[in-house]
Structure 1
Amino acid sequence: MTSHEVDILRDCDVAQFYKYTSGRWLWNEQYHLSRRYVEFDLPGLLHVSAQAIGASSCVKVEKLPEGNFSKVFLITMDDDRELIAKLPNPNAGQPHFMTASEAATMDYVRNVLGIPAPQVYGWSSSTDNPVKAEYILMERSGGVELGKIWHDMPWDQRLEVVRTLAGYEKAFASANFPMYGSLYYAKDLPNPDLNQFLDSINSTDKEEAFVVGPTTNRSFFDQGRDSVEVNRGPWPSLNEFVHSRAARELACIDKLLSYPGQQGFFGGPNQYRPTRALKVGVLRDYLKVATQILPNDISLSKPTLWHSDLHVENIFVDPSKPTRILNIIDWQAVNVSPLFLQARHPSLIDFEGPIPEGFAPITLPDDFDAMSEEGQHQSKNLRAAQSLYKLYEILMLQRCPEIAHALRFRDTLPGQITGLASSIFSDGEPILQGMLIRLQDEWTTCINPAIPCPLSFTPDNRTQQQHLERSWSRGVELMHEVLTEIGAYQGWDGWVNHTNYPIYKERLAQGRENFLNRYAKTEEERSQWIQAWPFKDTTHPPSYL
């Protein structure tokens, strides 16, 4: 150990490096923290970091703000060079596979597709190493986070960034993969079959060749799904892929005790109550039509790699020329799935407000001149956001029509059914059942009149579904009401930053009391609402976190 490294160990609080320190949770905090706790050997990390880039020693290590799934450290060498060390948390996914796939994926997109991902200096998907933990060592992204300048950039510069991203996504859609799953080096999978190898790679070292292996898609691991034994691929056919997703949801419904990530406030007096029977029944009905509702155009279902989180914090640009993208980060869990399930607008052009249909010119409201100055400002911002959103679609039509068609298919009834069926363990069964009823009604025009519809919903089924959907929707309204009062967002898991912890703790307590006063008409109802209150500690580690 060098004298610099001795100084680092003396001056830093190593225990804080192991812990999640970027915020707190208002309920189930100890469980959340345990899922984000990683012990490792700091001297070992400093040693492999210096060795990876040929430096003599490390002189500084800084823990950077954490994401949800990894610890990230900035390590500085004695010659002022820097690198990023990334260590996955226990909640990131399957040990070995998540790290091995992330390293291979960054190599592939950088050196095969020509997309600016960080250069990987070294990595290990095992804990049998000097660090005693899985890690990836990569270059520190130069430039500036796009998020720091995006809102100050003029329209033409924003459009140029979107054009560049559209080019990257065309490269994603143009690449060929033999299966659905995730990308690896052959050496990291046990005896991969020849049909798992990428035909486009001619490696002199077979072990370094790219292959498709088990998926790292978070939908196979989040909210307790990682604890259930299911088929995680790779899958050679689209039918096997979509059937495995439904089988995964059925297995989780069977094995796990709670339904995580619900959109509504359920289980109170006369409120919607999720049941295993309905979830299973809806998924079995879906499986009757799962194959028939897949897109006929095979280009929409081709195995496609896709970065699904292109928001402004994951993109680094040249500050002197902000339209020049220097690096895109966060490739963890990027996977190979059907194009029609992968394609989406880049997150940086998402916005709050209505999405215009078609490609007609987007205009200001008719009453724009009568609006206040603030109202006019908001209207102009909305028009700009809508225009950028639609211009992305035009770019896709021009450059890569299959992506544009995939985006359209997602909005069709078959596309919506296929998408929603993959999350029924969590929620949405009354909505999916309603979609399946509609599919039965529109079968001859939506699918194929020559194929008999295998669905047979009765009038009683339809009446019951309408009742359940109304009840479910009321629960969603209640959830929105509570979250709005607290100042939180849909899907909130109780996380707050350290400064806001006491503020939100008080808001949550007051919001609970206000809710009970509004809706509990009797002591019995009050007890039932308290039991149903979703924002509270559980008596056992929640399987869904």
Structure 2
Amino acid sequence: MTIQEQFGLVEQLMQFEAELASIQFPAKGSLYLCESMTDVEPWVALDRTVDPSGQFCIGPSCERAWSAQGKMMAPPSQVKNGPWPNLSSFGLALLERERLRIGQQSLVSTFGPPRGSVDEQFAVLNMAKGVMSRLETVTLINRVSRPVLWHTDLHMGNIYSKPEDPTKICSLIDWQSIVVSPLYLQARFPEFLSVDDDYVLGLTEEPKLPQDYQDMDANDKKLAELKFEYTKMSKFYELSTANQHLQAHHAFLMPQFTRELFIRCGEVSEEGAIPLRACLIEFADAWNELGFLGECPLSFSEDIRKHDQLFQDYRDFHRVQEIARKLLSTDSEGWISPQLDFAERQRMNTELLQEIMRRSNEYNKATEVIRSIWPFREKA
């Protein structure tokens, strides 16, 4: 597929996303056929202007995080897993789910990132409740929280185009875990577009070659040119989004910590109190700028420097974990592709651990701490 054909594909994809996001949904949850719902399952029918045949409804979320798979979970009757009529009800249900999970844990795990005590986890969830309960007021967040259907895993393997015309999409697959959720939590660039940390959002920002481009050797120039082409494609997608679905572009511009609120709330039982507390500190700092009325309900009387140190420990832990996964070409569970030599990966694991332990000061850890948080065992 040529660069020009890829631009054509991106344009059609954006048109499809805008059309899909224009559908008015009555609640947040998953899309079902009405006839598939049982008498005990809550659901909300789509408006007849959207669904004249009356076949579809919004019911409980199908996301794995709301099921009992692989997790200790309270009885379903105690967990409000959708549909949720508004952003606040969704956030409060998320908090209650995590509260129930924490209450069912017999011990705080000794492995993993620093989590804080159970009391600290409950305390930070209570603080988040003060924010969640205010999300239905008119704020910057509320303006981009309409429930939409958005495919959040659009890589090239999920997009099928016509062989005779690659710019014409004929099918998008892998919808089984896609949900109807707030726009600003859903809207994102497709996976296949290059949006690095140095990508600058904005309608007036034009992609440019690196300032030292002329000083690069031939190979580096080729890489810079390739990145430049893909960055232009990402900017084209962003501009098309602003043109066809302005609210989605507004959602792109929302501060990251406003999305992190829901992500961090939903993982307190696994990741602990520290990342959510960091997110709430950012909320407190930007309370008025986000458009909230009245006094901020968040108060951090503890030493902020103490929190900063705990958060640094948390980030250092995940930095070590990420290095192991990336360099060993694996995931958090240690899965190795059949195309790779497993024994060779075991050897690499041992050597990599020894190297990271040798450089432990770079990760602000003692050598034995590095060993204790390393995600994979050494080969005996």
TM-score (normalizing by structure 2): 0.84
Give the letter aligned to residue 160 of structure 2: F
User: Which one of the candidate residues 503, 507, 511 is aligned to 2:344?
Assistant: 503
Q: 1:227 to 1:418 in 2, by over 3 A?
A: closer
Mapped pair 1:453 → 2:296: yes
The residue correspondences of 1:140-539 to structure 2 (distance < 5 A) are: 153-191=1-39, 195-199=44-48, 200-203=50-53, 209-221=55-67, 224-225=70-71, 227-229=73-75, 230-256=79-105, 266=112, 272=114, 274-293=116-135, 296=139, 300-352=144-196, 354-358=198-202, 359-409=204-254, 411-427=255-271, 429-448=273-292, 450-458=293-301, 460-484=302-326, 486-488=327-329, 492-500=332-340, 501-515=342-356, 531-536=372-377
Q: Is the 8 A contact 1:397 1:403 kept in 2?
A: yes
SS at match of 1:446: coil
Contact 2:26–2:58 (Cα < 8 Å) also in 1: yes
AA partner of residue 84 (structure 2): W
Amino acid at match of 1:210: F
Matches within 5 A, 1:56-95: none
d(CA) in 2 for partners of 1:259 and 1:338? 32
Cα distance, 1:255 vs. partner?
2.1
- The one-letter amino acid of 2:320's match is L
Displacement of 1:222: 8.2
Distance 1:370 1:528 in 2: 43
Residues 1:181 and 1:438: Cα distance change in structure 2 (over 3 Å): closer
Deviations 1:240-284 (A, max 9, x none): 111111222222222246889x9xx846xxxx4554333322222
Over aligned residue pairs, what C-alpha RMSD do you find? 3.1
CA distance in structure 2 between the partners assigned to 1:494 and 1:237 by the alignment = 39
Distance 1:429 1:202, change over 3 A: same
State the one-letter code of the partner of 1:494.
G
Counterpart AA for 1:492: S
2-structure distance, mates of 1:165, 1:253: 41
- Write the deviation string for residues 43-71 of structure 1: whole angstroms up to 9, x where unpaired: xxxxxxxxxxxxxxxxxxxxxxxxxxxxx
Instruction: Write the deviation string for residues 516-543 of structure 1: whole angstroms up to 9, x where unpaired.
Output: 56659xxxx8776655443249xxxxxx
Give the C-alpha shift of residue 162 in structure 1. Answer: 0.8
2:151 partner letter: H
Using the TM superposition, give the Cα deviation of residue 321 of structure 1 relative to its aligned residue in structure 2, in angstroms. Answer: 0.9
Distance 1:445 1:526 in 2: 44
Q: Report the alpha carbon displacement of residue 474 of structure 1 after superposing the two structures with TM.
A: 2.3
Q: Residues 255, 177 of structure 1: CA spacing in aligned structure 2 closer, same or farther, 3 A cutoff?
A: same
471 and 223 in structure 1: CA distance in 2 versus 1, 3 angstrom threshold = farther
Q: Which moved more, 1:526-535 or 1:337-346?
A: 526-535
Deviation of the 1:437 alpha carbon? 2.2
SS in 2 for 1:232: coil
Compared CA separation, residues 221 and 508, structure 1 to 2 (3 A): farther
Structure with more strand by fraction: 1
Measure the CA separation in 1 of the matches of 2:106 and 2:252: 35
Q: 1:341 to 1:351 in 2, by over 3 A?
A: closer
Change in 2 beyond 3 A, CA 1:405/1:377? same
Tell me, what secondary structure is at the counterpart of 1:224? coil
- Provide the residue aligned with 1:97 in structure 2: none
C-alpha spacing 1:275/1:514, structure 2 compared with 1 (3 Å): farther
Q: CA deviation at 1:334?
A: 1.3
Identity of aligned residues (%): 24
1:333/1:394 CA distance change after superposition, 3 Å: same
Cα distance in 2 between the residues matched to 1:258 and 1:237: 34
Over 3 Å counting, the alpha-carbon distance change for 1:258 and 1:351 in structure 2 is: farther
Please identify, of 297-306 and 168-177, the stretch whose mean Cα deviation from structure 2 is larger: 297-306
1:170-229 deviation digits (Å, cap 9, x = unpaired) = 1221112111111111111124778434432232xx6xx111111112332487347444
Distance verdict in 2 for CA 1:425–1:236, change over 3 Å: same
For residues 11 and 187 of structure 2, what CA distance do their matches in structure 1 show? Answer: 16
Please give the per-residue CA displacement for 1:381-418, whole angstroms capped at 9, x wherever unaligned: 22122221122111111001111112222x25434334
Change over 3 Å in CA distance of 1:461–1:222 after alignment to 2: farther
Counterpart contact for 2:115–2:271, Cα < 8 Å: no
Structure 2: 5+ residue stretches without partners: none
Contact 2:152 2:178 in 1 (8 A): yes
The C-alpha deviation readout for 1:333-352, integer Å capped at 9, x for no partner, is 11111111111111121455
Distance 1:196 1:451, change over 3 A: same
Structure-1-length-normalised TM-score: 0.60
